[in-house]
Structure 1
Amino acid sequence: MNRIEEKFKELKSKNKKALITFITAGDPDLGTTVELVEEMERRGADIVELGVPYSDPVAEGPVIQKANCRALKNNIRIKDIMDTVRKIRERVSVPLVYLLYFNCILQYGPERFFSDCRESGVDGVIIPDLPYEEQAEIDGVAEGFDISIITLVAPTSKERADKISKKARGFLYCVSSLGVTGVRSEFKTDFEEFFKYINNASEIPKAIGFGISTPEQVQALKGYCDGLIVGSAIVKKVEESSSPSDAVKNVGDFVEVLRNAIDA
């Protein structure tokens, strides 16, 4: 049982939902990334996703695309992010998850990548451009290092939901709506129907992501799932901040608001 599974087990025993937060590693710089993760844990985040900057992030909306561009201007490489995670792990106990694109793993080398994830303190990976049917290519390597490959299931995945859910490790990432990531004012998904067939397929914890940006949305959706994922709205706080220290404060304040909404 790795840190992700332990966290959901702990939260379930307390009848609480997980707050899963996302930032782009290296935005605005790697030193601030360490401070942001530490502050998010302190203010109530249960799991933190770190986006690995990539030049063609096909699943991301404009907010995270711009964060990728800002980070890449710092010439950040995956090795640098691994080193940063080592520093983060000295300060925090929350599970850490990479969100990255499959080509990044191929370029780094799958064996070396998952070995370094294990050694640095990463607990899981989300690979949005890797179809479930092609996941077997790296499943064995990831499992060998106890790294959870967190799979995504969308409202349109009915025919495949059973297989995807049963294969999932860590938690099942339930995509709230079609399209790319980004702040949304409303959701058109029938969550009752969506979670009826997902829950029938697997008992693994489920978290809703893509577009959740306000405490009101958190409160409206928390009844369906075991966790809520907030990404673009947090990255936007970083973008709008006047300095790194301002970013840490603004993100921390926002995470605390979201935590209070989940626990209300």
Structure 2
Amino acid sequence: MNRIVNLFDTNPTDQPGQGLLNVYFTAGFPALNDTKKILTALQEGGADLVEIGMPYSDPVADGETIQKSNEKALENGMSVKLLFDQLQDMRKTVSIPVLLMGYVNPVMQYGIENFCKKCAEVGVDGLILPDMPMDVYLNEYKSIFDSYGILNIFLVTPQTSEARIRQIDQASEGFIYTVSSASVTGSKSGVSTDMESYFNRINAMNLRNPRLIGFGIKDNATYVKACNYASGAIIGSAFIRVLEESKDLENDIRHFVQEIKNPASAVINA
């Protein structure tokens, strides 16, 4: 069974304010060879799954913080091939689900089947490709993803129609990435009343797939609020800022995750 599917099957998230935490970071940032170090520290801190960004020159869905991390990673020399090299022995120490997030062009250049095969070889469980059209995926690539056991995670936004959401739900396995607003990543507004209405609307649809809420999740308060409306939350920009400012990378990562999920524990362990 895919690790992502197994995670949601074995972790009931029906308690208010409790849920799974997915943490995003950009491969090759802050330093080129930090990938495995960050992955391990996230697992030790208590992250439930991890989303590794494949740096791209034009990350249109991302705000300034993640854009700058992409630029720095590319300057450092990160590439898809190098990332796979860095993840080669990942499963010797990392047991939590790992996804790769990025844009479809580098994946196409690598070759869809070669990319999925390499993901399976190193232990990547799923992909998030926001600019992959769903009809293209279903008609041309789903059979390849399925043959290698790789999940393709779709995004929904407040502007996504009910018909489209239901289509995504039928085409999905694992979870649905619920974008909290129409803005780019790194929003500092938190979870607004309008967002809550949107989350309630999706919950009323009784979809078969669990959902994780992303964009605007930055601390324990926004994490808890998101968990009241979904199976968990995704944090990206706030974590990138921690990496950018860190003086003790592994300890700072563990402390950050603990502060998001359980602030009382983080104080005790500080």
1:171 to 160, 172, 175: 175
* Alignment partner, residue 203 of structure 1: 208
**Structure 1, residues 32-69: CA drift from partner, whole Å, max 9, x if none?**
22111111111110000000011111111110111111
1:140 aligns with 2:143: yes
**Residue pair 1:38, 1:92 contacting (<8 A) in 2 also:** yes
Q: How does 1:1-264 map to 2 (within 5 A)?
A: 1-12=1-12, 17-136=19-138, 137-159=140-162, 160-188=164-192, 189-197=194-202, 200=205, 202-242=207-247, 246-260=248-262
Return the alpha-carbon distance in structure 1 between the equivalents of residues 223 and 159 of structure 2. 22
**Structure 1, residues 79-128: CA drift from partner, whole Å, max 9, x if none?**
11111122332211000000010001110000100000000110000001
Bigger shift: residues 133-142 or 206-215: 133-142
Cα deviation for residue 262 of structure 1 reads 11
Cα deviation for residue 14 of structure 1 reads 9.2
Q: How many positions carry a matched residue from both structures?
A: 260
Q: Tell me, which stretches of 5 or more residues in structure 2 are unaligned?
A: 266-270
Return the alpha-carbon distance in structure 1 between the equivalents of residues 132 and 80 of structure 2. 18
**Residue pair 1:59, 1:181 contacting (<8 A) in 2 also:** yes
**Residue pair 2:23, 2:47 contacting (<8 A) in 1 also:** yes
Cα deviation for residue 259 of structure 1 reads 1.7
The residue matched to 1:207 in structure 2 has which SS? strand
The residue matched to 1:12 in structure 2 has which SS? coil
Letter of the 2:72 partner, please give it.
Answer: R
RMSD of Structure 2 on Structure 1 (CA):
2.0
Identity %: 37
